[in-house]
Amino acid sequence: MGKRDKLKNTVKNTLDKMFGNEERNDIIKDSLETFLKILKESSDFNPILKSAVGGVCASLEILNKKARNKKDMIQMTADLAGKAQELASLKGQENSSEVKHHFEELAGKLDSINRKLGEKLDHSALHRTVQVDHDTQEIEGYCQELQRAYDQCKRYYKDFEDKTPCTYGTRVTILHELMDWVQESSSNASMGYWMCGMAGTGKSTIAKSLCLMLEEQQLLAGSFFCSRQIPECREYHCIIPTIAYQLAYYSCTFGETLEKVLEEDQNIALKEPFIQVKKLLIQPWEAVMETKRFVGHVPVIVIDALDECENVSEVLKAMVPAIQDGQLSGLKFFFTSRPGKDVSSHLQIESEASKSGTVKNFYLHNVEESLVQSDIEKFLQYEMKYELQNDQITAKQIQDLVKISGKLFIYAATTIKYIKGAKEWQKRRLHEVLHSAQGPNPLHIKPMDVLYTCIQLYYIFSAERSKENHCDQFVHQVLLQKACLSIMDKKLHFNICNLPSSFLLDKEVEGIEKRIAENIPGDLEYCCFFWAYHLEKCTVDEEMITMLEAFIQKKMIFWIEAMFLLNKLPLCLDILEMTLKIQLGEENEYMLRQIREMVIMCALGKIQGRTPQLYLSIVPFFMEDIPIFDRFQRLMKVKKAGQTLRQLGSWSAASGILCLSLSPDGSILATGLTNGDIMTWDTKTGLQKEVAFQGHSEQVNSVAFSPDGERIVSGSRDNTVRVWNARTGAPEGDPFQGHSDWVSLVAFSPDGERIVSGSCDKTVRVWNARTGAPEGDSFQGHSSCGHFSGILSRW
């Protein structure tokens, strides 16, 4: 029994209990009027339906007044009311041409019923009284016709609900792998495929794309997209009947057999999943396989978001063994879900289905981050260009969104929805998201939390919208800044974690993690990380400057010590840079610049993890330059002589360095290595970036940044040119091939749209930087490699 039948019976039973037979006529009238109102309102969104609905409503109202079979009329009214409610839920959403076509069919059916009802109304009053029972039966028949037409309309509508496919050009590798699985028809092919992924990794969009690809090849036998928000889509007992219903449309043989099953047992939809699988899937599918119609290709059932379905384990307990035992051979099943015991116990690698090779596993959250971010970048570029139509959003802003999205497509998608919510605020909202996510944020706030925090802050900072809940952020920034300085003044001191010896590395100190947690508690950690952020946001007055001077002179060196222990030396530099942008007076700015130089020396001198060396090896070099260090007079004094400090540090690479290039803003150094890798370095700290750019098979002879600093081009001894994403290290497209000998030098054009390369094959080539296509023929005429240096360095 479906949900509409339940509603119909519920209405009937309620009326039976509440009223006697004498009162039913009035109740019928009231119920019908309610139905008419709902149906009229729901038809407003589709002009095609509106006139047809009006005619049926008027006819039914007149017939109701003459009908003697009140019981049947009550059931008919409740049944139509259920349909009307569902129509109302579709209001304004029928934007697919195919869905509109089925709405037209539904309207045609309503017109047909209306004409037949009109004929009955033309009969004499006496004839209508005599024929009333027959009329009621015919009306019920009309309702059944309407039900079938409505179901057809609703079935097609459901295919075009919220689920959206992947943006063109994204998830290409994953979708190709899925289609390879679909097309594999060998005897040992896996008949099930489980894609598991954390929330927001894009499982549903991949499932939707797969459905569209299967539909193009006429291989989509059915789909069910579970959803917590839609009651019918979260009830486990709806899955198998829905799939059976769709299979009946896919295969006439299946439909004919299913019809016989339903004639034998009309309550099959209410029974346990084991019986449903046997009667609604296995039995009709066996009949299909006997026809041998699908030899050579295998239809696919797609079931998405199993974790959003209540008690889904009950369905899997019945369905997976049927797949595993070959009872549904010739039919493949694609599942998606988050990790969870209810699903994984049936489908994961340790399960019987996976061990036997029946169900293949794919863990979406384990896909390499650089590949995911490359797809997210394509998605954002498309959305910014075609959905937001905002040409003022820069490539750097897109890259920043890519970076903070991590592996979460849902973060990028939700950001786009939030930004385009109000056209006049798009730039401001984008700035809010980027600023919130990119500030010094060592509290490890999850990306989605950052985004939703932005949306919530947008509300609370608006006095007009939040009323009594309004927060004056400028007033509170001052309060927070003063609180940070006050807490640091009270709690920061020399050797805050009581390290026993300067001969030990921090990690060699017994219980170092416990010492740090106890001596640098959460409130002090927050103050160390965010005091400059709050300072930047508030108006600096005399009182604030006095407090800052006291902090710089008395506590800043101890703040640096705490940041050393928290392993946050790069953040320490960022905070000093941020503070130097604020007008704090000439003397304070001088000391801050000297302290910044000291921290840079700490980074380049590689004393991270050796906190006592801050005082023993670094401070002595700055005793003369920073007056506040007078308190350390007992330390060894260092006399600067000539060029002593010119070399601030040395960096080690995994292989020999053959070439290097600085980014336009000087923040990143790219190096080409003899092992074919490209490494990037933070020039402030000397820290090597985590990801090596790997793709060349031989040594890298030349590297160069694009004018916007977002891409790196490299030329190699393997005769190829490659372009890389400077932030993620992901290759952008395939290698540029055309040279017959080593590529010795490469460079970008000033607009970043072209790349020039010089080779030991004595030619110069120009390439399209986006596509890798050569632009014209190679330039020939040089007699050796050495002649290219002057040309490329001047471009």
List, for residues 270-317, the tens digit of each pLDDT value: 788 999 999 999 999 999 988 877 776 789 999 998 988 888 888 898
How far apart (Å, rounded) are the C-alpha atoms in residues 557 and 619? 9
284, 330 contact by CB (below 8 A): no
Task: Let me know: does 696 contact 743? Beta carbons within 8 Å.
Answer: no
Alpha helices in 282-408 (DSSP H): 283-291, 312-324, 341-347, 352-355, 369-382, 395-405
pLDDT confidence of residue 157: 44
Does the pLDDT at position 523 exceed 60? Answer: yes
Q: Which amino acid is at 570?
A: P
What is the tens place of the pLDDT at every residue in 695-715?
A: 898 999 999 999 988 899 999
Are 172-366 and 657-794 in the same CATH fold? no
pLDDT band at residue 62 under the 50/70/90 scheme: very low
In the predicted model, is pLDDT for residue 182 greater than 80?
A: yes
**Could you give the count of Cα atoms lying within 13 Å of 96 in the half-sphere of its Cβ?**
14
Instruction: Determine contact, residues 369/728, Cβ cutoff 8 Å.
Output: yes
Q: Which of 223-232, 395-404, 461-470, 712-721 has the lowest mean pLDDT?
A: 461-470
Indicate if the pLDDT at residue 364 is higher than 60.
yes
At 70-98, the pLDDT tens digits run: 444 445 445 554 554 554 454 444 444 44
Residue range 172-366 forms a domain whose CATH class is alpha beta
Q: Rounded CA gap, 279 and 265, in Å?
A: 9
- Average the pLDDT over 231-240 and give the result: 82
Residue-wise pLDDT for 585-625, tens only, equals 888 888 888 888 888 877 766 677 888 888 887 777 776 66
Percent of the chain with pLDDT over 90: 15
* Burial category of 436 from C-beta neighbours within 10 Å (exposed 0-12, middle 13-18, buried 19 and up): middle
pTM, rounded to two decimals: 0.43
In this model, does residue 454 exceed pLDDT 70?
no
Distance CA 646, CA 626 (A): 19
Q: What is the number of alpha carbons within 13 Å of residue 266 lying toward its C-beta?
A: 2
| Cα distance between the two ends of the chain | 75
Are the C-beta atoms of residues 752 and 766 closer than 8 Å to each other?
A: no
Give yes or no for residue 122 having a pLDDT over 80: no
Residue 675: CB atoms within 10 Å: 15
| Cβ atoms of residues 484 and 548 within 8 Å | no
Kindly tell me if the per-residue pLDDT of 555 is higher than 80.
yes
Q: What is the mean pLDDT of residues 487-502?
A: 91
Highest mean pLDDT out of 330-339, 355-364, 634-643: 330-339
Question: Span 338-351, mean pLDDT?
Answer: 72
Bridge-based pairing of strands 668-673 and 192-196 is: unpaired
Kindly tell me if the per-residue pLDDT of 238 is higher than 90: no
What does CATH list as the number for 657-794? 2.130.10.10
- Sign (positive or negative) of CA dihedral 432, 433, 434, 438: positive
Which is more confident, 222 or 7? 222
Please determine, for residue 175, whether its predicted confidence score (pLDDT) is greater than 70: yes
Best mean pLDDT range from 22-36, 372-386, 668-682: 668-682
Contact indicator for 588, 548 with CB cutoff of 8 Å: yes
Alpha-carbon gap, residue 509 to 497, rounded angstroms:
10
Sequence-distant (≥ 6) Cβ neighbours of residue 107 within 8 angstroms? 46, 48, 49, 52
Mean pLDDT of the chain, nearest integer: 73
Q: Say if residue 124 is exposed, middle or buried (CB neighbours under 10 Å; 0-12, 13-18, 19+).
A: exposed
Higher pLDDT among residues 453 and 342, named by residue: 342
DSSP, res 716: E
**Domain locations in the chain as residue ranges:** 3-158, 172-366, 369-439, 473-632, 657-794
Residue 592: what pLDDT? Answer: 86
pLDDT band at 430 (very low <50, low <70, confident <90, very high): confident
pLDDT at 589: 85
CA nearest neighbour of 704 among 741, 752, 739: 752
pLDDT digits (tens, 9 = 90+) for 659-690: 999 998 888 889 999 999 999 888 776 667 76
pLDDT in tens, 559-583: 999 998 988 888 888 888 888 888 7
The structure tokens listed for 375 are 């797809």
Question: 194-208, 409-423, 750-764 — which is least confidently predicted?
Answer: 409-423
Asked if residue 25 has pLDDT above 50, the reply is: no
pLDDT number for residue 525: 92
Helix (H, G, I), strand (E, B) or coil at 206: helix
- Confidence category of residue 527, pLDDT binned at 50, 70, 90: very high
pLDDT at 642 over 70: no
**What pLDDT score does 451 carry?**
52
> Above 90 in pLDDT, residue 167?
no
Q: Answer yes or no: is pLDDT of 171 > 80.
A: yes
